[in-house]
Protein backbone atom coordinates (compact mmCIF):
# COMPACT_ATOMS: atom_id res chain seq x y z
CA UNK A 1 0.00 0.00 0.00
CA UNK A 2 2.80 2.41 0.89
CA UNK A 3 4.51 1.86 -2.45
CA UNK A 4 1.28 2.50 -4.33
CA UNK A 5 0.62 5.60 -2.22
CA UNK A 6 4.08 7.00 -2.93
CA UNK A 7 3.85 6.25 -6.66
CA UNK A 8 0.48 7.98 -7.07
CA UNK A 9 1.85 11.56 -6.87
CA UNK A 10 4.61 10.63 -9.33
CA UNK A 11 2.07 9.18 -11.75
CA UNK A 12 -0.12 12.27 -11.48
CA UNK A 13 2.90 14.53 -11.95
CA UNK A 14 4.12 12.57 -14.99
CA UNK A 15 0.67 12.66 -16.60
CA UNK A 16 0.37 16.38 -15.89
CA UNK A 17 3.70 17.06 -17.60
CA UNK A 18 2.76 14.89 -20.59
CA UNK A 19 -0.67 16.51 -20.94
CA UNK A 20 0.90 19.97 -20.75
CA UNK A 21 3.43 19.10 -23.42
CA UNK A 22 0.69 17.59 -25.60
CA UNK A 23 -1.42 20.72 -25.29
CA UNK A 24 1.53 22.95 -26.20
CA UNK A 25 2.45 20.76 -29.19
CA UNK A 26 -1.10 20.45 -30.55
CA UNK A 27 -2.19 24.06 -29.97
CA UNK A 28 -0.58 25.51 -33.15
CA UNK A 29 -1.91 22.63 -35.27
CA UNK A 30 -5.45 23.02 -33.94
CA UNK A 31 -5.23 26.80 -34.34
CA UNK A 32 -4.24 26.46 -38.01
CA UNK A 33 -7.01 23.97 -38.79
CA UNK A 34 -9.71 25.92 -36.93
CA UNK A 35 -8.84 29.23 -38.60
CA UNK A 36 -8.70 27.64 -42.05
CA UNK A 37 -12.51 27.34 -41.89
CA UNK A 38 -13.07 31.02 -41.00
CA UNK A 39 -13.35 34.24 -42.95
CA UNK A 40 -10.44 36.66 -43.11
CA UNK A 41 -12.10 39.09 -40.72
CA UNK A 42 -12.75 36.31 -38.20
CA UNK A 43 -9.13 35.12 -38.39
CA UNK A 44 -7.87 38.50 -37.23
CA UNK A 45 -10.85 39.39 -35.05
CA UNK A 46 -11.15 36.18 -33.00
CA UNK A 47 -8.33 33.76 -33.87
CA UNK A 48 -8.78 31.62 -30.75
CA UNK A 49 -12.48 30.91 -31.16
CA UNK A 50 -13.95 28.11 -33.31
CA UNK A 51 -15.91 29.03 -36.45
CA UNK A 52 -19.55 29.94 -36.07
CA UNK A 53 -22.29 29.93 -38.71
CA UNK A 54 -21.49 33.61 -39.34
CA UNK A 55 -17.72 33.21 -39.55
CA UNK A 56 -17.56 29.81 -41.29
CA UNK A 57 -16.02 30.16 -44.74
CA UNK A 58 -14.37 27.74 -47.20
CA UNK A 59 -12.83 30.46 -49.36
CA UNK A 60 -9.34 29.30 -48.40
CA UNK A 61 -9.88 25.75 -49.62
CA UNK A 62 -11.58 26.84 -52.84
CA UNK A 63 -8.71 29.22 -53.54
CA UNK A 64 -6.06 26.58 -52.90
CA UNK A 65 -7.75 23.93 -55.04
CA UNK A 66 -8.82 26.31 -57.79
CA UNK A 67 -5.89 28.72 -58.15
CA UNK A 68 -2.86 27.21 -56.53
CA UNK A 69 -2.60 23.95 -58.51
CA UNK A 70 -2.39 22.36 -55.07
CA UNK A 71 -3.20 18.86 -56.32
CA UNK A 72 -0.08 18.88 -58.50
CA UNK A 73 2.08 20.13 -55.62
CA UNK A 74 0.57 17.49 -53.37
CA UNK A 75 1.41 14.77 -55.90
CA UNK A 76 5.00 15.99 -56.12
CA UNK A 77 5.38 15.91 -52.34
CA UNK A 78 3.79 12.48 -52.19
CA UNK A 79 6.09 11.05 -54.88
CA UNK A 80 9.21 12.53 -53.28
CA UNK A 81 8.26 11.42 -49.77
CA UNK A 82 7.20 7.87 -50.68
CA UNK A 83 10.23 7.26 -52.90
CA UNK A 84 12.63 8.69 -50.32
CA UNK A 85 11.06 6.62 -47.54
CA UNK A 86 11.34 3.48 -49.67
CA UNK A 87 15.04 3.97 -50.35
CA UNK A 88 15.82 5.06 -46.79
CA UNK A 89 14.13 1.99 -45.31
CA UNK A 90 15.55 -0.40 -47.90
CA UNK A 91 19.16 0.79 -47.89
CA UNK A 92 19.08 1.66 -44.18
CA UNK A 93 17.84 -1.81 -43.26
CA UNK A 94 20.38 -3.52 -45.51
CA UNK A 95 23.25 -1.43 -44.16
CA UNK A 96 22.04 -1.94 -40.60
CA UNK A 97 21.88 -5.69 -41.16
CA UNK A 98 25.42 -5.70 -42.55
CA UNK A 99 26.82 -3.67 -39.64
CA UNK A 100 25.05 -5.76 -37.02
CA UNK A 101 25.58 -9.20 -38.57
CA UNK A 102 29.02 -9.18 -40.16
CA UNK A 103 32.28 -8.42 -38.41
CA UNK A 104 34.96 -6.86 -40.58
CA UNK A 105 37.84 -4.42 -40.22
CA UNK A 106 36.47 -0.94 -39.78
CA UNK A 107 33.02 -2.10 -38.67
CA UNK A 108 32.99 0.21 -35.65
CA UNK A 109 34.52 3.11 -37.56
CA UNK A 110 31.96 2.71 -40.30
CA UNK A 111 29.15 2.92 -37.76
CA UNK A 112 30.67 6.04 -36.21
CA UNK A 113 31.15 7.61 -39.64
CA UNK A 114 27.50 7.04 -40.50
CA UNK A 115 26.46 8.39 -37.09
CA UNK A 116 28.18 11.68 -37.97
CA UNK A 117 25.40 12.24 -40.47
CA UNK A 118 22.98 12.58 -37.56
CA UNK A 119 25.06 15.31 -35.93
CA UNK A 120 26.07 17.28 -39.04
CA UNK A 121 23.15 18.98 -40.85
CA UNK A 122 23.01 18.19 -44.55
CA UNK A 123 22.19 21.85 -45.26
CA UNK A 124 25.84 22.70 -44.59
CA UNK A 125 26.62 21.08 -47.94
CA UNK A 126 23.95 22.93 -49.89
CA UNK A 127 26.41 24.66 -52.24
CA UNK A 128 28.24 21.42 -53.06
CA UNK A 129 24.92 19.58 -53.51
CA UNK A 130 23.65 22.27 -55.87
CA UNK A 131 26.87 22.13 -57.91
CA UNK A 132 26.58 18.35 -58.11
CA UNK A 133 22.96 18.51 -59.26
CA UNK A 134 23.79 21.15 -61.87
CA UNK A 135 26.66 19.03 -63.20
CA UNK A 136 24.37 15.97 -63.28
CA UNK A 137 21.53 17.83 -64.99
CA UNK A 138 19.12 17.04 -62.17
CA UNK A 139 18.07 20.57 -61.22
CA UNK A 140 14.29 21.06 -61.30
CA UNK A 141 13.66 17.33 -61.10
CA UNK A 142 12.07 15.25 -58.37
CA UNK A 143 15.02 12.88 -58.62
CA UNK A 144 17.29 15.52 -57.09
CA UNK A 145 15.03 15.84 -54.05
CA UNK A 146 14.72 12.06 -53.68
CA UNK A 147 18.51 11.63 -53.72
CA UNK A 148 19.07 14.39 -51.16
CA UNK A 149 16.35 13.18 -48.80
CA UNK A 150 17.58 9.60 -49.07
CA UNK A 151 21.07 10.70 -48.08
CA UNK A 152 19.59 12.83 -45.30
CA UNK A 153 17.56 9.99 -43.78
CA UNK A 154 20.05 7.13 -44.08
CA UNK A 155 22.30 7.92 -41.06
CA UNK A 156 19.42 7.86 -38.55
CA UNK A 157 17.85 4.83 -40.22
CA UNK A 158 21.10 2.83 -40.13
CA UNK A 159 21.79 3.81 -36.52
CA UNK A 160 18.32 2.78 -35.28
CA UNK A 161 17.87 -0.34 -37.41
CA UNK A 162 21.33 -1.74 -36.72
CA UNK A 163 20.70 -1.55 -32.97
CA UNK A 164 17.39 -3.37 -33.32
CA UNK A 165 18.83 -6.00 -35.62
CA UNK A 166 21.47 -6.85 -33.04
CA UNK A 167 18.61 -8.07 -30.83
CA UNK A 168 17.38 -10.59 -33.43
CA UNK A 169 18.24 -14.10 -32.32
CA UNK A 170 21.38 -15.55 -33.92
CA UNK A 171 19.87 -19.02 -33.58
CA UNK A 172 17.04 -18.02 -35.92
CA UNK A 173 19.42 -16.73 -38.59
CA UNK A 174 21.77 -19.69 -38.24
CA UNK A 175 18.84 -22.09 -38.55
CA UNK A 176 17.93 -20.39 -41.80
CA UNK A 177 21.48 -20.78 -43.08
CA UNK A 178 21.45 -24.49 -42.16
CA UNK A 179 18.22 -24.87 -44.15
CA UNK A 180 19.99 -23.42 -47.17
CA UNK A 181 18.46 -19.94 -47.16
CA UNK A 182 20.47 -17.19 -48.81
CA UNK A 183 21.48 -14.06 -46.91
CA UNK A 184 18.90 -12.05 -48.83
CA UNK A 185 16.16 -14.51 -47.92
CA UNK A 186 17.20 -14.41 -44.26
CA UNK A 187 17.18 -10.63 -44.39
CA UNK A 188 13.79 -10.18 -46.08
CA UNK A 189 11.87 -13.12 -44.61
CA UNK A 190 13.33 -13.56 -41.13
CA UNK A 191 14.87 -10.30 -39.98
CA UNK A 192 12.68 -7.58 -41.48
CA UNK A 193 9.37 -8.89 -40.04
CA UNK A 194 10.93 -8.82 -36.56
CA UNK A 195 12.06 -5.20 -36.81
CA UNK A 196 8.83 -3.72 -38.19
CA UNK A 197 8.27 -1.50 -35.12
CA UNK A 198 11.68 0.08 -35.57
CA UNK A 199 11.06 0.57 -39.29
CA UNK A 200 7.77 2.32 -38.49
CA UNK A 201 9.66 4.58 -36.09
CA UNK A 202 12.23 5.39 -38.76
CA UNK A 203 9.48 6.02 -41.32
CA UNK A 204 7.68 8.55 -39.12
CA UNK A 205 10.83 10.41 -38.06
CA UNK A 206 12.05 10.45 -41.67
CA UNK A 207 8.80 11.47 -43.33
CA UNK A 208 8.10 14.58 -41.27
CA UNK A 209 11.31 16.49 -42.18
CA UNK A 210 10.91 15.49 -45.84
CA UNK A 211 7.27 16.49 -46.10
CA UNK A 212 7.76 19.80 -44.27
CA UNK A 213 11.04 20.79 -45.93
CA UNK A 214 11.18 24.09 -47.80
CA UNK A 215 14.95 24.52 -48.16
CA UNK A 216 15.86 21.96 -50.82
CA UNK A 217 12.68 22.34 -52.96
CA UNK A 218 13.38 26.08 -53.08
CA UNK A 219 16.99 25.54 -54.16
CA UNK A 220 16.91 22.35 -56.23
CA UNK A 221 13.39 22.23 -57.68
CA UNK A 222 11.74 25.67 -57.76
CA UNK A 223 10.05 25.25 -61.16
CA UNK A 224 6.29 25.04 -61.45
CA UNK A 225 6.42 21.38 -62.50
CA UNK A 226 8.41 20.25 -59.44
CA UNK A 227 7.07 22.44 -56.65
CA UNK A 228 6.10 20.69 -53.43
CA UNK A 229 3.30 21.54 -51.01
CA UNK A 230 5.41 23.73 -48.76
CA UNK A 231 6.89 25.62 -51.69
CA UNK A 232 3.52 25.94 -53.39
CA UNK A 233 2.04 27.53 -50.27
CA UNK A 234 4.47 30.40 -50.71
CA UNK A 235 2.43 31.53 -53.73
CA UNK A 236 -0.12 33.02 -51.35
CA UNK A 237 2.51 35.09 -49.53
CA UNK A 238 2.79 38.52 -51.09
CA UNK A 239 5.00 41.53 -50.43
CA UNK A 240 2.02 43.71 -49.60
CA UNK A 241 -0.98 41.35 -49.33
CA UNK A 242 -1.04 37.83 -47.89
CA UNK A 243 -3.95 35.45 -48.47
CA UNK A 244 -4.13 33.97 -44.98
CA UNK A 245 -7.22 31.92 -45.79
CA UNK A 246 -5.38 30.09 -48.57
CA UNK A 247 -2.19 29.66 -46.52
CA UNK A 248 -4.03 28.16 -43.55
CA UNK A 249 -6.05 25.89 -45.86
CA UNK A 250 -2.90 24.71 -47.64
CA UNK A 251 -1.16 24.01 -44.33
CA UNK A 252 -4.22 22.13 -43.04
CA UNK A 253 -4.25 19.91 -46.13
CA UNK A 254 -0.50 19.37 -45.81
CA UNK A 255 -0.95 18.15 -42.23
CA UNK A 256 -3.31 15.33 -43.28
CA UNK A 257 -0.70 12.84 -44.61
CA UNK A 258 1.36 13.11 -41.43
CA UNK A 259 -1.71 12.50 -39.28
CA UNK A 260 -2.79 9.55 -41.42
CA UNK A 261 0.69 8.02 -41.22
CA UNK A 262 0.74 8.41 -37.45
CA UNK A 263 -2.69 6.84 -37.05
CA UNK A 264 -1.67 3.88 -39.22
CA UNK A 265 1.70 3.29 -37.56
CA UNK A 266 0.99 4.62 -34.05
CA UNK A 267 1.04 1.17 -32.44
CA UNK A 268 4.22 0.17 -34.26
CA UNK A 269 5.76 3.56 -33.45
CA UNK A 270 5.12 3.20 -29.72
CA UNK A 271 6.44 -0.37 -29.75
CA UNK A 272 9.55 0.76 -31.57
CA UNK A 273 10.24 3.58 -29.13
CA UNK A 274 9.57 1.57 -25.96
CA UNK A 275 10.87 -1.87 -26.95
CA UNK A 276 14.32 -1.08 -25.61
CA UNK A 277 12.99 0.02 -22.23
CA UNK A 278 11.96 -3.44 -21.04
CA UNK A 279 14.10 -6.54 -21.49
Say which range, 26-35, 80-89, 107-116, 159-168, has the weakest mean pLDDT.
Answer: 107-116
Please state, in angstroms and rounded to a whole number, the distance separating the CA atoms of residues 212 and 185. 36
**Bridge partners (DSSP) listed for residue 56:** 38
Please state, in angstroms and rounded to a whole number, the distance separating the CA atoms of residues 116 and 225. 34
Q: Quick check: 79 pLDDT over 90?
A: yes
List, in order, residues 6 or more apart from 72 with CB less than 8 Å away: 227
Please state, in angstroms and rounded to a whole number, the distance separating the CA atoms of residues 55 and 171. 65
| DSSP-derived 3-state class of residue 223 | coil
Q: Quick check: 217 pLDDT over 70?
A: yes
Kindly report the backbone phi and psi dihedral angles of residue 53, in degrees, each rounded to the nearest multiple of 5, phi listed first: -55, -30
List, in order, residues 6 or more apart from 176 with CB less than 8 Å away: 185, 186, 189, 190
Binning pLDDT at 50, 70 and 90, where does residue 277 land? Answer: very low
Amino acid sequence: MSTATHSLPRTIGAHAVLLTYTAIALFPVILVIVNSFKSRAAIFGAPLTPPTPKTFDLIGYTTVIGQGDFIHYFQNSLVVTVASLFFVLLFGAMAGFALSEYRFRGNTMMGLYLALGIMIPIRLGTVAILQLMVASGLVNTLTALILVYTAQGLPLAIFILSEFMKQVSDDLKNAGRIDGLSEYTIFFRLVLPLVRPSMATVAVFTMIPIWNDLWFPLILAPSEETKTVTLGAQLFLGQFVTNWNAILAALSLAILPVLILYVIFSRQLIRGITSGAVK
